[in-house]
Amino acid sequence: MSLPEVTIHLPEWVAQTVDFERAYAGDQEKMRLAIELSRQNVVRGTGGPFGAAVFERGSGRLVSVGVNSVVRLNNCTLHGEMVAFMLAQARLGSFSLRSADGTEHELVTSCEPCAMCLGATLWSGVTRLVCGAHRDDARRLNFEEGPVFPQSHPYLEERGIEIVHGVLREEANAVLELYRARKGTIYNG
């Protein structure tokens, strides 16, 4: 018997959609990328309505992207944020995005993270989290967001993670509604 292996890969369309060579300026431009990833994931039928990207703070250099891959890769942990973290750490060759040379990283995600992704945000080493849709927007589709408590965000902030909410929320929420209209799988409800 051979032991199982886990392989994480992005859908093929990502290579044609994302320009990894450019720098992204400002929260809205970065969020537009995360939202477009989520939209393409829905339109192309490759996963749930969530996209994320990791950037270098300051330079805006794109380090990695992630799209929800739970159903596509049969793994409940492969939320967009988790995929973005895993691929960023693989690209940088480090278990932490808190770089020894002082380079800081940020996560930009099309929807506020669920409990799992919020916990991973703490351990990832990012120093900033930028969110689009609100977790209540996802819960309206019956996505279970887990135990995110009123003190969860202040807890992260006390540990040096700046959090920005509601960037292009309406655009991000429109992708959630598109997923609902297409009768997308609610895989954790």
The domains found in the chain, sorted by start residue, are 31-181 (3.40.140.10)
CA–CA gap between residue 9 and residue 59 (Å, rounded)? 26
Structure tokens at 62: 């794109």
Calculate mean pLDDT across residues 86-100: 94
What confidence tier does 67 reach under pLDDT thresholds 50, 70, 90?
A: very high
What confidence tier does 40 reach under pLDDT thresholds 50, 70, 90?
A: very high
The answer to whether 124 and 96 are in contact (CB under 8 A) is yes
Residue 5 neighbours by CB under 8 Å, 6+ apart: none
Structural element, H or E, at residue 52: strand 51-56
pTM, rounded to two decimals: 0.96
Calculate mean pLDDT across residues 103-122: 97
DSSP summary character for residue 189: -
Q: Is the pLDDT of residue 189 over 60?
A: no
Structure tokens at 41: 């994931």
Report the pLDDT value the prediction gives residue 133, as an integer from 0 to 100. 98
Calculate mean pLDDT across residues 43-69: 97
